[in-house]
């Protein structure tokens, strides 16, 4: 399976409305040397370019390929989306099924990709005028991870209050709801549970409770209700080590040995107190969560 980025320019075409109104859409294949590369079920990230608004471009949807490239001519409904007469011309296109759209929360802005240790090398950031970009496997895996986790930033801004409102409508039992609310308020129940079994950062000597973070191994947003409350899904860490773990710059093998991302430079390793000899002990439950962390969050 291939992973692609397909780009659309809002100066010529109303990309947002097209994606908003249709689950099944057509996208041009302009880089014709890809004709034989496109396969059914290929993954496609849809990129709306800056157009006339600098700094607004980026990835807003994920789709999959459901037809091989065909020569087609638009019907007149396409006219609504075009600002030019180009819709009248026959063109080579593939049909896509839109799987997920992230309008604001989770939209991956081009500017944030320029700072990303791996994805800053994406071809679309340097050669900005193509329509179709085929991603290397490394870029594909990294972008998938980023997309899967890209609601985190928004989510973390959501207040405890509105989280609790959401809980009222969630389909969970009364007991679960109570537990979730308890653990959500300042993470107190979760943190207390962890403090009962460990009393310092897993990786260094910080013991002051005020500076210990009850970090979820499988992040809150990815976890189900049971996993959110499960003490095995927690790791007590100091703020530095929590930040590295949370952002995927470190993870752990099943035997507890630390894995440090190649993208963490030597200086940062030293200043944030990380080295290859570190390891932690984990029970079976923690190992399971850690497998998830290593696979989906580690930047490699
Ligand atoms: Zn630490």
Q: Are 261 and 141 contained in the same domain?
A: no
Q: How far apart are CA 62 and CA 107, in angstroms?
A: 11
Compute the CA torsion angle 211, 212, 216, 220 (nearest 10 deg): -40
Distances (CA, A) of 247 to 292, 294, 296: 14, 11, 11
Q: How many CA atoms lie within 13 A of 214 on its CB side?
A: 26
Q: Are 35 and 8 contained in the same domain?
A: yes
Q: Are 105 and 195 contained in the same domain?
A: no
Q: Are 49 and 142 contained in the same domain?
A: yes
Domain termination site, one of 131, 153, 175: 153
Provide the residue range defining the domain that includes 187. Answer: 158-296
Å from CA of 273 to ligand 1 middle:
8
Q: Are 205 and 289 contained in the same domain?
A: yes
Which pair of tokens denotes residue 228?
A: 């959110």
Å from CA of 206 to ligand 1 middle:
6
178 Cβ contact list (under 8 Å, min separation 6): none
Instruction: Please give the tally of structural domains in the chain.
Output: 2
Å from CA of 143 to ligand 1 middle:
28
Q: Are 39 and 180 contained in the same domain?
A: no
115 Cβ contact list (under 8 Å, min separation 6): none
Å from CA of 239 to ligand 1 middle:
7
Q: What are phi and psi of 259, to 5 degrees?
A: -115, 120
Q: Are 28 and 144 contained in the same domain?
A: yes
Å from CA of 202 to ligand 1 middle:
6
Q: Report pLDDT for 78.
A: 81
DSSP letter (8 states) at residue 82: B
> Along the 300 residues of the chain, how does pLDDT read in single tens digits?
999 999 999 999 999 999 988 999 999 999 999 999 999 999 999 999 998 888 889 999 999 999 999 999 988 888 889 998 888 899 999 999 999 998 776 789 998 898 888 899 999 999 999 999 999 998 998 999 888 877 644 333 344 445 555 555 555 666 666 656 655 554 677 888 888 888 899 999 899 988 998 899 998 878 888 888 899 999 999 999 999 999 899 999 999 999 999 889 999 999 999 999 999 999 999 999 999 999 988 987
Q: Are 199 and 264 contained in the same domain?
A: yes
Å from CA of 269 to ligand 1 middle:
12
Å from CA of 119 to ligand 1 middle:
28
The enclosing domain of 88 has a CATH number of: 3.10.590.10
Q: Are 148 and 187 contained in the same domain?
A: no
Q: Are 78 and 100 contained in the same domain?
A: yes
Å from CA of 280 to ligand 1 middle:
12
Q: Are 165 and 251 contained in the same domain?
A: yes
Phi-psi region for residue 187, left (φ > 0), alpha (ψ -120 to 50) or beta? left
């Amino acid at each position: 399976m291939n992973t692609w980025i397909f780009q659309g320019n809002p100066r010529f075409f109303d990309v947002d409305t097209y994606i908003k109104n249709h689950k099944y859409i057509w996208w041009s294949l302009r880089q014709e040397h890809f004709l034989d590369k496109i396969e059914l079920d290929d993954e496609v990230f849809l990129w709306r370019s800056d157009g006339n608004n600098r700094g607004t471009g980026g990835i807003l949807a994920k789709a999959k390929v459901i037809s091989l490239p065909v020569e087609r001519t638009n019907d007149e409904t396409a006219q609504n989306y075009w600002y030019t007469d180009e819709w009248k011309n026959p063109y080579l296109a593939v049909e896509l099924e839109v799987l997920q759209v992230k309008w604001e929360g989770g939209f991956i802005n081009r500017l944030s990709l320029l700072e990303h240790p791996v994805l800053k090398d994406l071809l679309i950031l340097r050669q900005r005028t193509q329509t179709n970009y085929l991603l290397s496997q490394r870029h594909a895996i990294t972008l998938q991870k980023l997309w899967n986790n890209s609601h985190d930033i928004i989510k973390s801004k959501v207040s405890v209050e509105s989280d609790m409102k959401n809980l009222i409508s969630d389909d969970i039992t009364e007991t679960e709801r109570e537990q979730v609310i308890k653990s959500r308020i300042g993470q107190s129940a979760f943190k207390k549970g962890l403090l009962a079994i460990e009393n310092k950062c897993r990786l260094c000597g910080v013991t002051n409770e005020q500076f210990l973070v009850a970090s979820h191994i499988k992040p809150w947003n990815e976890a189900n209700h049971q996993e959110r409350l499960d003490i095995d899904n927690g790791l007590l860490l100091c703020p530095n080590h929590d930040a590295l773990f949370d952002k995927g710059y470190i993870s752990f093998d099943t035997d507890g040995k630390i894995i440090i991302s190649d993208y963490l430079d030597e200086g940062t390793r030293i200043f944030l107190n990380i080295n290859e000899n570190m390891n932690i002990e984990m029970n079976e439950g923690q190992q399971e969560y850690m497998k998830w962390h290593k696979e989906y969050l580690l930047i490699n």
